[in-house]
Amino acid sequence: MFRSIRPRVDAVLVQAVIAGALSFAHLHDLAEAAGQTGWKAWAYPISVDLLLVAVWRRLRTERSKLAWFWFLVALVASLGANIATAGLLDLNHVPAWLRILVAGWPALAFLGGTLLAHTPATSAPAPKHRQAPVAEHPEPQPDPAPEPLPAPAPEPVPALPEATRPPVPPALVDHARKVATEHRTRTGTDIDTATLRARLGVPEDLAGAIVAQLA
C-alpha cells in the first residue's frame, strides 16, 4: 500500500512568513502615507528588508562597527514603521520630518549597501607564536689528536719445512761408511759431500743424505 506523503510544516518558517508579510504591509502603508505612491510604496519595504538581510549576513562573518551601525539603521527603519502604524501616528496627516526621512531612505539604503558590499572584511590577526628561547651551547672544543697506535710486531716467518731426504738403502750406507773410513785414514779429514758423491756416483741429494747418516 502506498503511504500518503504529507509535507512537514516548519513552524519557524510559517512564523517568519507571517512576520515578514505584516512588516511589509506596515512599511508599505507608511511609505504610501508619506507620499510614496504606486510602485514606490512597494519598493520601500523591499529596500528596508534587503538592507537588514545584507547586514545580518555580514555580521555572521564579521562583527565590525560598520556592520553594527547599518544593522541599527535598518532595524530602526523597520521597527519604527511597524510602531508608527499602530495608531500612534495619524497616517492622514504625516509630519514633514517623516516625509523627509521616507524620501531620503533610498539614498541612505544605497550608501549602506555599497559600503557593506565593497568594504573588505577585516580578518582577525593571527596569534603571534613566541619563539622558544634558544639554549646557549658552549662552543665545541676540538677533539685531542689521537695517540699513534704502536706498530704491530712483525709476525715470525714460519720456518720452511726441511726438504724431504730420499731414503738411503742400508747397503749403500755401509759401503759409504767404508769409503769415508778409508778417506779419513788416508787424508786425516772427514769426507765431504762432493767427494762422497764422486766416489759413489750418486746424485747430490742422495749424497747429502748419506753424509747426514754418517755424521
pLDDT at 78 over 60: yes
Q: Is 105 exposed, middle or buried (0-12, 13-18, 19+ CB in 10 A)?
A: buried
Q: 26 with 89: CB under 8 angstroms?
A: no
Residues 113 and 174 grouped into a single domain: no
Residues 113 and 20 grouped into a single domain: yes
Please check whether residue 141 lies inside any domain of the structure.
Answer: no
The mean pLDDT of the chain is: 76
Instruction: Note the pLDDT tens digit of each residue in 204-213.
Output: 777 777 777 7
Please check whether residue 161 lies inside any domain of the structure.
Answer: no
Residues 111 and 174 grouped into a single domain: no
pLDDT at 160 over 80: no
Please check whether residue 43 lies inside any domain of the structure.
Answer: yes
Please check whether residue 84 lies inside any domain of the structure.
Answer: yes
Residue after which a domain boundary falls, among 82, 97, 118: 118
Give buried/exposed letters for 111-141 (b at 16+ CB in 10 A, else e): ebbeebeeeeeeeeeeeeeeeeeeeeeeeee
Residue 85: name the closest of 144, 26, 135 by CA: 26
DSSP E strand boundaries for the chain: none
pLDDT at 161 over 60: no
Q: What pLDDT was estimated at residue 204?
A: 79
Residue 3's pLDDT band, with cuts at 50, 70 and 90, is low
State how far Cα 211 lies from the chain centre: 92
Q: What pLDDT was estimated at residue 15?
A: 81
Please check whether residue 50 lies inside any domain of the structure.
Answer: yes
How far apart CA 169 and CA 150 sit, in angstroms, is 55
More confident: 170 or 145: 170
How far apart CA 162 and CA 164 sit, in angstroms, is 6
Instruction: Note the pLDDT tens digit of each residue in 39-69.
Output: 888 888 888 888 888 888 888 887 788 888 8
Please check whether residue 40 lies inside any domain of the structure.
Answer: yes
Residues 109 and 176 grouped into a single domain: no
Which residues lie closer than 8 Å to 33 by C-beta, 6 or more apart?
91, 92, 94
Residues 29 and 103 grouped into a single domain: yes
Could you list the residue range(s) of the whole structural domain that residue 185 is in?
170-214
Please check whether residue 82 lies inside any domain of the structure.
Answer: yes
pLDDT at 1 over 60: no
Residues 187 and 101 grouped into a single domain: no
How far apart CA 166 and CA 173 sit, in angstroms, is 13
**φ and ψ at residue 141, rounded to 5 degrees:** -85, 145
Instruction: Note the pLDDT tens digit of each residue in 115-153.
Output: 877 777 665 555 555 665 555 555 667 666 667 666 666
Domain count, the chain: 2
Please check whether residue 134 lies inside any domain of the structure.
Answer: no
How far apart CA 85 and CA 29 sit, in angstroms, is 8
Residues 100 and 198 grouped into a single domain: no
Residues 112 and 181 grouped into a single domain: no
Residues 25 and 98 grouped into a single domain: yes
